[in-house]
Structure 1
């Protein structure tokens, strides 16, 4: 039982975890190899040359430059090798593959909420297919949280006000512990769950059997109409507002002369902090939805706008009717 618990907690569930373990083991052996002779010689010299012990204390001076250089150069080269190795692993976790499954994560006291592209929702459980890259786009509803999956050797802080991402490829089916590694309030210790890695066929079956009304993008499209966004950003709108079709991933010139990329964070800020970055050529008339929409709804809108990325800029989404009584647009003036 204890062995099974240890396997679930610290077992390897991905190739990245194996690389991290190998890096830590190799660096530990390097530190031991560099430190052990020092401590061994300290004990030997303390015993051999202690006061009162008959010993020759007048050894000739050895001026072999190569010996002196080697004990500085060799450890330096080895440490540089480990630095390059560790840096490559660090850089890799920030560059997910293009074919990664994009799962939205909302952290709040005291639970993890996950939503798959097809609209399947989970709380404190995350089902993923083995061998398939998965990208988590995470946001916090309240305080700082930290998603930690020991079996993946991955941990990422989820900070309010910004999107953070983490990706992995779990290659060993099974159940693995998932927890919050940042103190987030009185019930912090209960904020956990499990990562369920499934064979691809089983994962496809789980998706099909899970009840879902609409995909994440479809939910965003409905919210887009309901919030009145299409009144200014729709094809038939008379308000001078940026078109959203084909926006995601493109450079956006701002009125201050700078240029930003329309990524997830930019779209989120456009909804909640519309006056922070104004698109060039558009008026400052976009209202904030900061106290109107929660993080889950913002994620839905972001997913919807991302779904328009391949549409030509001249076209617009089908959600272009101005709903009666709707609020001003989400992205107006951006």
Structure 2
């Protein structure tokens, strides 16, 4: 894949990022030229043997020193305030953003559409004009997900969920790359984002993307299956029990931990509850939750499965816990939670 010197601007972030970048480039060129020009003038005028008047030399000039300190300081603060706004905004996706679950692993990207369950490898199909939220994690080492045309980049970290969002503004095919060196085939760890018209995207989605229609399950539906498979409802039923709290309406709420700390239940909290439950145990409940190691072996949960459990928890929102998948034959009571054998 070739990376042009100036990639196209294809997201709502791109223009503002470009304006900041070109402003910084312009200021850098201006002050660099100013310093070198003054240096050249002083060298020519005051070189050894010149007839320049060296009498009444000054060793300080407070107005001049204040000028070259205050003006650059003000410029720096203005640039900081200007650039901080889009940086902070990139961490706060809108509530109606379409979520894509992203797993980086050497040396490929696995992407799953949370709403439709469509999975893609090294490709991402999205509609133009729609807010897209990427929830990212790494299965091995640190990776960096970077789409130059969208001017967005976020690291994928092992054991921690990172998010970034954007709104694509132009239909087209745009490359993405891994920006953190991750081993032998790091340079080949990339793919393409296909931004489609809403009609074309809907058709692509209805056709199942790259999957057989029979295998189209949402991430939440697969999380439902895992929830039942590992018997999570034995402790996390529809109401608080002796062994564990109900998980209805839990996501986004605040809970008190055994150590007295109050935390918000988000993706990282739920993941920690699965892989190291004692570290985030809710006050008043015994340490019965089994810890799951991350991997693809027996008795382990992959990062993809953990994301699916989280998607299931987020999808419930206090609704009837059987309503999500009416065709299921399971008779186990359901609840909101990242499951575990008790």
Shift in Å at residue 231 of structure 1? 2.5
**Paired residue for 1:326?**
none
CA contact (8 A) 2:230 2:341 kept: no
Shift in Å at residue 125 of structure 1? 0.2
**Paired residue for 1:123?**
121
Say which SS state the counterpart of residue 80 (structure 1) adopts.
helix
Shift in Å at residue 32 of structure 1? 2.5
CA–CA distance in structure 2, aligned partners of residues 236 and 83 of structure 1: 49
**Paired residue for 1:203?**
201
Distance 1:21 1:187, change over 3 A: same
Shift in Å at residue 289 of structure 1? 2.2
Q: Which TM-score applies when normalising by structure 2?
A: 0.85
User: After superposition, where does 1:93-242 map in structure 2 within 5 Å?
Assistant: 93-116=90-113, 117-210=115-208, 211=213, 212-235=215-238, 240-242=243-245
**Paired residue for 2:259?**
256
**Paired residue for 1:53?**
50
Structure 2 residue 18 is the aligned partner of structure 1 residue 15: no
User: After superposition, where does 1:272-291 map in structure 2 within 5 Å?
Assistant: 272-290=275-293, 291=299
**Paired residue for 1:89?**
86
Q: Which runs of 4+ in 1 moved over 6 A?
A: 59-64
CA contact (8 A) 1:270 1:330 kept: no
CA contact (8 A) 2:109 2:121 kept: yes
Distance 1:49 1:305, change over 3 A: same
Shift in Å at residue 70 of structure 1? 2.7
CA–CA distance in structure 1, aligned partners of residues 66 and 236 of structure 2: 68
- Two-structure CA RMSD over aligned residues (Å): 2.7
Structure 2 residue 256 is the aligned partner of structure 1 residue 246: no
CA–CA distance in structure 1, aligned partners of residues 29 and 67 of structure 2: 18
Distance 1:64 1:277, change over 3 A: closer
Aligned length: 322
Q: Which TM-score applies when normalising by structure 1?
A: 0.87
Q: More displaced, 196-205 or 231-240? A: 231-240
Shift in Å at residue 317 of structure 1? 4.3
**Paired residue for 1:35?**
32
Shift in Å at residue 220 of structure 1? 0.9
CA–CA distance in structure 1, aligned partners of residues 4 and 205 of structure 2: 27
Consecutive unaligned residues in structure 2, runs of 5 or more: 294-298
Q: More displaced, 133-142 or 230-239? A: 230-239
Distance 1:37 1:236, change over 3 A: closer
CA contact (8 A) 1:8 1:177 kept: no
CA–CA distance in structure 1, aligned partners of residues 75 and 29 of structure 2: 13
Say which SS state the counterpart of residue 41 (structure 2) adopts.
helix
CA contact (8 A) 1:9 1:176 kept: no
CA contact (8 A) 2:255 2:282 kept: yes
CA–CA distance in structure 2, aligned partners of residues 15 and 59 of structure 1: 58
CA–CA distance in structure 2, aligned partners of residues 186 and 35 of structure 1: 39
Distance 1:56 1:6, change over 3 A: same
CA–CA distance in structure 2, aligned partners of residues 141 and 9 of structure 1: 32
